[in-house]
Amino acid sequence: MEGKKILITGGTGQVARPVAEALAVRNEVWCLGRFGTPGSERALAERGITTRYWDLSDGSPTALADVPRDFTHVLHAAVRRGEDGDFDAAVEANAVATGALMHHCRTADAFLYVSTGAVYARQTLDHPYREGDPLDGVADWLPPYPVAKIAAEGAARAFARVLGLPTTVARLNIAYGPGGYGGVPMLYFRRMLAGEPIPVPASGQNWCSPLHTDDLVRQVPLLWEVAAVRATVVNWGGDEAVGITDCVRELERLTGVAPRLVPSEVTRETYAFDATLRRELIGDCTVDWRDGLRRTLAAHHPDRLLPAPGA
């Protein structure tokens, strides 16, 4: 992709920052955010990215006053997750910001809203969730989060149709890789290093379809290509379903650091995806999860990685 004018929210985050940096090589990229982390705005500027202050929770008509309208592509990844427990504020902020951005950029070729697999109603731990599966917005580990994401999905679908703006709603699985904090696997590894418990289900294990940054970055333009006015809703994960406990055990195998797995009522629920639709629309992934995990560890904790057998 080259020569496009691209607007990205959440550009300081785990998901969108590597996308912004990759696209900035051949396109004009703008990022909106609060840039509260010292140095985060400068780091983007050093990659040639234009930044503007924008607070997703500011639903006022002037919130986007400093932002041009002539973007060809939009990636909306910023989120107010609702860590403060305020459902209403999370729904209001995420839904209104999505609608306001779409309205502002209504002449774009494509809009991509990053949603989450956490919108699905829990079935069995290893159920491969399909796009048409029931939703319920229940997550004991962060209750407002999936409710707000369902609300924002609804806003995205409505504005796509009303404005005639081709849109993709991509329900992201676990994104991980060398950038940012490394994603959920590195959160677990940090717990392992600190000797902290990792809550796991009393029987079985949680499953996920982790998506490595290399695939994620490559797939963003492909998700824009399949955007439609009747919004395309698609699961966005890796090709392989991986057990979280298996993932933690793989981290142990690679580093020798033992996890403290503690059976618990409340665990960080994750979801294995049925990847059929995503594969039909944008093709296969390229990164094997064990290789991706080893490369992520090598970037974040090189001193902890044991030599490969025979090396």
Ligand X SMILES: NC(=O)c1ccc[n+]([C@@H]2O[C@H](COP(=O)([O-])OP(=O)(O)OC[C@H]3O[C@@H](n4cnc5c(N)ncnc54)[C@H](OP(=O)(O)O)[C@@H]3O)[C@@H](O)[C@H]2O)c1
Contacts to ligand X by CB under 6 A: 10-16, 33-36, 40, 54-57, 77-80, 114, 116, 172, 174-175, 180, 183-184
**Between residues 23 and 77, which has the closer beta carbon with respect to ligand X?**
77
Q: How far is the CB of 15 from ligand X (least distance, A)?
A: 3
Which helix (H) or strand (E) element contains residue 6? Answer: strand 5-9
CA distances from 5 to 19, 72, 139, 218 (A): 14, 5, 36, 17
227: how many CB neighbours lie within 10 A of its CB?
23
Q: How far is the CB of 299 from ligand X (least distance, A)?
A: 16
Q: How far is the CB of 309 from ligand X (least distance, A)?
A: 30
Q: Please state, in angstroms and rounded to a whole number, the distance separating the CA atoms of residues 275 and 25.
A: 30
**Between residues 77 and 125, which has the closer beta carbon with respect to ligand X?**
77
Q: Please state, in angstroms and rounded to a whole number, the distance separating the CA atoms of residues 73 and 46.
A: 22
Q: How far is the CB of 102 from ligand X (least distance, A)?
A: 15
**Between residues 3 and 212, which has the closer beta carbon with respect to ligand X?**
212
**Between residues 183 and 259, which has the closer beta carbon with respect to ligand X?**
183
Cβ within 8 Å of residue 52, ≥6 positions away: 30, 31, 32, 66, 67
**Closest to 98 measured CA to CA, from 226, 10, 219, 174:** 10
Minimal CB distance residue for ligand X: 13
Q: Please state, in angstroms and rounded to a whole number, the distance separating the CA atoms of residues 252 and 238.
A: 22
**Between residues 2 and 190, which has the closer beta carbon with respect to ligand X?**
190
Q: How far is the CB of 112 from ligand X (least distance, A)?
A: 11
